[in-house]
């Protein structure tokens, strides 16, 4: 056990020194009223990720036969959904992608490809 402690002691010491230095620097900048921060945005949504998530929503919808789901499958003609079901699917897309799809735009979404294209064009 003493070997492990001896091996990590220098690393712990340098980390503590770095922390104390950074802490001191933060206090110095706070005294002047300036605080430096960095923010990082998540990587954008890829087409493959959007497609997987759209397919997941469709395949888990009660009235959809999962084997019929494809990018070109029409919600009404190919998947057998009615207009109310399409509204429910669009709401599920809104929840999946944490976005609001206006009614005028929702009326244009009739295939998985339409949904994927909309999500990619309007992701925030």
- Write down the catalytic residue from 49, 65, 78, 82: 82
In the block, tokens 């945005």 appear at: 41
State the Cα–Cα distance between residues 101 and 119, nearest whole angstrom: 9
Cβ neighbour number for residue 73 with a 10 Å cutoff:
18
- Verify whether residue 85 is a known catalytic residue: no
Using alpha carbons, select from 70, 65, 60, 63 the residue that is nearest to residue 95. 60
- Residues with a catalytic annotation lie at 82
């Amino acid at each position: 056990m003493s070997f492990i402690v001896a091996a990590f002691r220098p690393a712990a010491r340098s980390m503590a020194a770095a922390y104390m230095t950074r802490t001191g620097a933060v206090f110095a900048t706070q005294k002047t009223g300036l605080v430096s921060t960095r923010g990082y945005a998540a990587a954008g949504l890829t087409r493959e990720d959007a497609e997987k998530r759209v397919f997941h929503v469709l395949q888990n919808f009660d009235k959809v036969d999962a084997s019929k789901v494809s990018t070109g499958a029409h919600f009404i003609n190919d998947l057998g959904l009615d207009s109310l079901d399409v509204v429910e699917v669009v709401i599920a897309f809104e929840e999946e992608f944490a976005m609001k799809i206006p009614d005028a735009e929702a009326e244009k979404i009739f295939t998985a490809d339409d949904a994927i294209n909309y999500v990619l064009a309007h992701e925030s």
